[in-house]
Structure 1
Amino acid sequence: MTQTAPHVNYLKDYQPSAFSIESVYLEFELSPLATRVTNSMQMQRQAKGDLRLDGENLKLISVLLDGEEVIEQCQIDEAGLTLAVAKEKFTLRIVTEIEPQNNTALEGLYRTSDNYCTQCEAEGFRKITYYLDRPDVLSVFTTKVIADKSENRFLLANGNLVDSGDLDNGKHFAVWQDPHKKPCYLFALVAGNLEKVEDTFTTADGREVKLEIFVEPRNIEKCEHAMESLKKSMKWDEERFGLLYDLDIFMIVAVDDFNMGAMENKGLNVFNSKFVLAKPETATDIDYEGIEAVIGHEYFHNWTGNRVTCRDWFQLTLKEGLTVFRDQEFTADMLSSAVKRIEDVRRLRSNQFPEDAGPMSHPIQPQSYIEMNNFYTMTVYEKGAEVVRLYHTLLGETGFQKGMQLYFERHDGQAVTVQDFRNAMADANGVNLEQMHNWYVQSGTPNLEVTRNYDAVTQKLTISCQQSLPNSDDFQPMLMPIGFGLLDKEGEPVTLEPTFESAANVELRSDTHAVLKLTQAQQSFVFEDVPADAVPSLLRGFSAPVKLHFDYSNQELALLAAKDEDSFVRWEAMQTLLLRTVQAKVAALQSCIDYQLPSEVIEVARSLLAAKEIDPALVAMTLSLPELGYIGEQYEVVDVDTIYQAHSWLEAELANHMQGQWLDVYHRCVNDAPYQYDKAQIAERMLKNLALSYLGVLSEHQSLVLKQYQAQHNMTDVLAALKTMLKHQHPRSVEALQSFYERWQDDNLVIDKWFTLQAQTQNDHALQTTQALLQHKDFSLTNPNRVRSLLGVFSRLNLVGFHRADGAGYQMCAEQIMQLDALNPQIAARLLGPFTHWKRYDEKRQQMMRNALQQILDRKGVSKDVYEIASKSLA
Structure 2
Amino acid sequence: AHEYFHNWSGNRVTCRDWFQLSLKEGFTVFRDSQFSADAGSPVVKRIQDVNLLRTLQFAEDAGPMAHPVQPASYMEISNFYTLTVYEKGNEVVRMIHTLLGPELFRKGTDLYFERHDGQAVTIEDFATCMAEVSGRDFTQFMNWYRQAGTPEVEVQGDYDQAAKTFTLTFRQSCGPTPEGKTKAPYLIPVKMGLVAGEGDLPLFTEGVDGATETVLEVTDREQRIVFRDVPEAPVPSLFRGFSAPVKWRYPYSRDDLLFLMARDSDGFNRWEACNQLALSSLREMIDARVNNDVVELDNRLIDAFRTVLSDDSLDGAMVAQLLTLPSEAYLSETMDVIAVQAIHDVRQSARVTLAEALKDPLIRCYEANRSDEPYRPEPEQIARRSLKNAALAYLSLLDDRDLQETLYRQAVDSDNMTDTHAALVSLANSPVSSAAHRVPEALADFYGKWRHEPLAVNLWFQVQAAAMVPDGLERVQALLEHEAFDIRNPNKVRSVIGAFCSVNAINFHREDGEGYRFLADRIIELDRLNPQVASRQIVPLTRWRKYPESQANAMVGELRRILQQPGLSPDVYEVASKSIADLGRP
Equivalent position SS for 2:162: coil
Is the partner of 1:811 in helix, strand or coil?
Answer: helix
Inter-partner Cα distance in structure 2 for 1:740 and 1:324: 33
Whole-Å separation in 1 of the counterparts to 2:251 and 2:263: 19
1:827-846 per-position Cα deviation (integer Å, ceiling 9, x unaligned): 11110111110111111111
Matched, 1:654 2:362: no
- In the alignment, structure 1 residue 590 sits paired with structure 2 residue 286: no
Residue 656 of structure 1 and its aligned partner are, at CA, apart by 0.9
Equivalent residue for 1:673, pick from 347, 370, 373: 373
How far the C-alpha of 1:733 sits from its partner, in A, is: 1.3
Q: Indicate the percent of aligned positions where both proteins have the same amino acid.
A: 46
Kindly provide the CA deviation profile for residues 497-526 of structure 1, in whole angstroms up to 9, marking residues without a partner as x: 22xxx33xx5x7x83111111111111111
Offset of 1:814 from its aligned partner? 0.8
Aligned mates of 1:564, 1:615 — CA distance in 2: 16
The amino acid of 1:607's aligned partner reads T
Tell me how far apart the structure 2 counterparts of residues 866 and 847 of structure 1 sit (CA, whole Å).
20
Task: Give the one of 8, 11, 23 matched to 1:303.
Answer: 8
Q: Name the structure 1 match of 2:407.
A: 705
Question: RCO (CA 8 Å, sep 6+): is it higher in 1 or 2?
Answer: 2
Shift of residue 797 of structure 1?
Answer: 0.2
Give the alignment partner of residue 719 of structure 1, picking from 413, 417, 421. Answer: 421
Deviations 1:327-364 (A, max 9, x none): 11111111111111111111111110000011111110
| Within-5 A mapping of 1:124-139 | none
Q: Which runs of 4+ in 1 moved over 3 A?
A: none
Report the secondary structure of 1:732's partner residue. helix
Partners of 2:113 and 2:444 in 1: CA distance: 54
What's the CA shift for 1:763? Answer: 2.2
Q: Give unmatched runs, 5+ long, in structure 1.
A: 1-295
Give distance in 2, aligned partners of 1:493 and 1:411.
Answer: 43
SS at match of 1:626: coil
Distance 1:297 1:709 in 2: 31
User: Post-superposition shift, 1:873?
Assistant: 0.7
What is the CA–CA distance in structure 2 between the aligned matches of 1:441 and 1:740, rounded to whole Å? 47
Q: 2:556 maps to which residue?
A: 850
- Aligned to 1:474, what secondary structure does the other structure show? coil
Partner Cα separation in structure 2 for residue 307 and residue 710 of structure 1: 46
Larger CA Rg, structure 1 vs 2: 1
> Is 2:508 the partner of 1:802?
yes
Structure 2 matches for 1:417-436, cutoff 5 A? 417-436=122-141
Cα distance, 1:583 vs structure 2: 1.1
Q: Which residue identity lines up with residue 192 of structure 2 in the other structure?
A: F
Matched, 1:351 2:59: no
The number of equivalent residue pairs is: 572
Paired residue secondary structure (2:469): coil
Q: Distance in 2 between matches of 1:406 and 1:808?
A: 55
Residue 637 in 1 paired to residue 337 in 2? Answer: yes
Whether 1:778 aligns to 2:484 is yes
| CA distance in structure 1 between the aligned counterparts of 2:147 and 2:413, rounded to whole angstroms | 52
RMSD across aligned positions (CA): 1.3
Q: Match for 2:204: what amino acid?
A: E
- Other-structure match for 2:186: 478
Q: Is the 8 A contact 2:153 2:249 kept in 1?
A: yes
Structure-to-structure mapping, 1:317-328, within 5 angstroms: 317-328=22-33
Which residue does 1:339 correspond to in 2? 44
CA–CA distance in 2 between the matches of 1:402 and 1:686? 37
Query: What is the CA-CA distance between 1:804 and the residue it aligns to?
Result: 0.8
SS in 2 for 1:435: coil
Residue type of the partner of 2:306?
R
What's the TM-score, normalizing by structure 1? Answer: 0.64
Q: Point out where structure 2 has 5 or more consecutive residues left out of the alignment.
A: 582-586
1:314-334 Cα shifts (integer Å, max 9, x gaps): 110111111110111111111
Aligned residue in 2 for 1:447: 152
Matches within 5 A, 1:222-261: none
1:467-516: CA deviations, max 9, x gaps? 110226422111111011111135x1212122xxx33xx5x7x8311111
> Matched residues in 2 for 1:668 and 1:453: separation?
45
Match of 2:584 in 1: none
Indicate the residue corresponding to 1:497 in structure 2. 204
Bigger helix fraction: 2
1:825 pairs, out of 517, 523, 531, with: 531
* TM-score of the aligned structures, taking structure 2 as reference length: 0.96
Counterpart secondary structure, 1:738: helix
Corresponding position of 1:362: 67
Equivalent residues of 1:562, 1:608 under 8 A apart: no
Q: Contact 2:523/2:534 (CA < 8 Å) preserved in 1? A: yes
Alignment partners' CA distance in 2, 1:710 and 1:779: 23
Aligned to 1:533: 233
Q: Distance in 2 between matches of 1:656 and 1:483?
A: 38
Task: Give CA-to-partner distance per residue, 1:595-635, whole Å, 9 cap, x none.
Answer: 22212201211111111111111111111011111101111
Matched, 1:761 2:467: yes
Structure 2 counterparts to residues 558-637 of structure 1, below 5 A: 558-637=258-337
Q: Secondary structure at the match of 2:200?
A: coil
Could you tell me how far apart the structure 1 residues matched to 2:353 and 2:175 are? 36
User: In 1, distance between residues paired with 2:307 and 2:214?
Assistant: 28
Q: CA deviation at 1:689?
A: 0.3
